[in-house]
Structure 1
Amino acid sequence: MAAKSFIVTLKDHVADVDISSVKKSFTQLGGEITHEFSLIKGFTVKVPEAGIDSVKEKHSDAIANIEEDKEVSIKK
């Protein structure tokens, strides 16, 4: 299955060591961190979609949201 890009948003209370643990779980699935945000605790990751649920369950105390990273537009 092809990898997709996802935005991972973490809860405000998450410590840096826990952020590293979440990232490591994604890279162990063959994922690649493609961008890290500076204003919020979060990052984008390119990873096979099949692994998303297992990481979300494992780190449910740290992850606030995971959503597919895709283009958004406003049409009139």
Structure 2
Amino acid sequence: MPNKVINVSVKDGGDAGELEKLKKQIQDQGGKITHEFKLIKGFTAEVPDDAVSTLQDNQHLNVEPDQTVTTQ
């Protein structure tokens, strides 16, 4: 099954402890953490396609596809 690359970060007012729970959930579902952010509380992970929707249900965290960001 193909993997998607996602970025996860704590929402404003969110519980940072949820990051550790989500890391474990990702690993339990066959994914892996590929990068830990230094400036913000978050990480990048590779996860199976079918796991993305269940990970996005966490109200404390932003879970979004990894994409290129540009400035104008």
* Corresponding residue of 2:33: 33
TM-score when scaled to structure 1? 0.74
Find the aligned partners of 1:23 and 1:72 in 2 and give their Cα distance: 24
Q: Greater CA radius of gyration, 1 or 2?
A: 1
Please give the secondary structure, in 1, of the residue aligned with 2:56.
Answer: helix
Q: Paired residues, what number?
A: 71
Question: What is the aligned-residue identity percentage?
Answer: 38
1:47 pairs with 2:44: no
Two-structure CA RMSD over aligned residues (Å): 2.0
Q: Which ranges of structure 2 fall in alignment gaps of 5 or more residues? A: none
TM-score when scaled to structure 2? 0.78
Q: Which ranges of structure 1 fall in alignment gaps of 5 or more residues? A: none
